[in-house]
Chains A and B, each alone.
Chain A
Amino acid sequence: MPHYELTAHALHEKLKARDITAVELTESVYSRVAAVEPHVKGYLTLTRERALQQASAADAGFQKGDEMPSLAGIPIAIKDVICTKGVRTTCASKILSNFVPPYDATVMEKLHQQGIVMLGKTNMDEFAMGSSTENSAYQVTHNPWALETIPGGSSGGSAAVVAADAAVCSLGSDTGGSIRQPAALCGVVGMKPTYGRVSRYGLIAFASSLDQIGPFSKDVTDCALLLNAICGRDAMDSTSVDVPVPDFTKSLINDVKGLKIGVPKEYFAQGLEAEVSDTVHAAIAVLESLGASVEEISLPHTEYAIATYYIIAPAEASANLARYDGVRYGYRTENPSDLLTMYKKTRSEGFGQEVKRRIMLGTFALSAGYQDAYYKKAQKARTLIKSDFDAAFQEVDVIATPTSPTPAFKIGERTADPLQMYLSDVMTTPASHAGLPGISIPCGFVKRGLPVGLQLLAAPFAEERLLRVAYTFEQNTEHHRQKPNLRVEL
């Protein structure tokens, strides 16, 4: 098996044993990138020179026989919404086309402390607004499982490059499902940690009360390793929570006996593709056969999650994106005649259609005379959605649902119909409202060969429980070992 196909934990053993060097590994992954990128188009920026320097540094450590962190020398891709010092960070937007942050996001500092190798920055929906990565100002990313389909979004690039073995693992961000949904559609593991578990400092904000950084990986063990690296309270982010960070690899236990799994009936309703439903039910049956007990539960306010999400997230975004005005950094229109013209033209030319739509939606929802009917009402609905989960977790340990109502859809299929696109997030937004941790793991395929994801949700800060269930499922199935048949010339 070529090095680029391996997991981080397998590679760590090889690096430690000096079977390979980090430089060789990095070269191996870049050769794969060169082969698949013309088809997948998952990267916006590659940082080869830096990566090889980082790899050499890791090799020096291994050479000396130092005790090296698990992610030392591991080539990792970063979603282009996370600020990387000295490396262009665009949010896949024209308005940040020339933006080079003079600072690292806290997660980047943490990863660099581990000695990772950063491969480059991955494509996404502009400002993380979208479910297909088609809203990028730069390129459309293709799903490695079927190049004519989308990889999901907004972290489509980060999911696709892991699925295509063009990165060992990656970081994404999840606001309403932007890690879990593309993980499901690309057949990889993706986790959104509890809101407050990972610092948001340096994560370019879409919706501050929902945004959370999380990992993509080829298996659950790598997911645990990445969580170990990025979690923890950060003095730079007031909303990060001061709870102890466990060693998540300790949760990799192949046993779910006695565990109670709740299956919410509202998630198996209209709009769910039959094959997806069957695949997910089969996966839940596997867990049951391994000793978990399964019961149907109800989360009665689920139907309001999408409407609520498309008020709260745009409302926060309308303020978060106000700073892109051409005054201090980023794109500025040429030769504006006056201040107002500069604002209007800079923003009209710099933002894409979906971003403009959401800024307008959010501005409207916060406006005098409408705020009570929209923003404040949505906050109340959010509380109700959260109470549903609070009640459910009194009864069950974990909730299992499909991650997405459909597998990957065709490029261009939903771009003309924003509402249809928004419904891609119907399974993922409820947990976002409640700030819950959620993981999507590969659980099978529909007949046309596209992967299906199983979403597991737990109470706040119960990531360990999710990892245990996901790991048990993975140890007893083979879905995660499947590779897309990317017919590319190497």
Chain B
Amino acid sequence: MMSNQEQLVYMVNQIARNFATMGQDEAAAATADHLVSFWDPRMKTQILAQYASDRSGLSPIAADAIAHLRDHLIPSGQTPATVFNAVNEAGHSDAG
């Protein structure tokens, strides 16, 4: 059974594997974007700590992604991997 920290490493490696066909740089950016969009602050802090202390278990894409995360921690509304529709209160449909 994995520890919580091992679980986080596993998860980021798994995300990175599923973006791998994009190529190293794009996959790393997409993985970082995924962490920004879907991981809560605790999980982000923990994976950054893991990266700082021991990145041997991280795949190359995952490691690059966490470096991106570290450097650009403030999330933005629009992201390349998971594009969200524009929304405005004037009633433009955000259908989804």
Do these two chains interact?
Answer: no
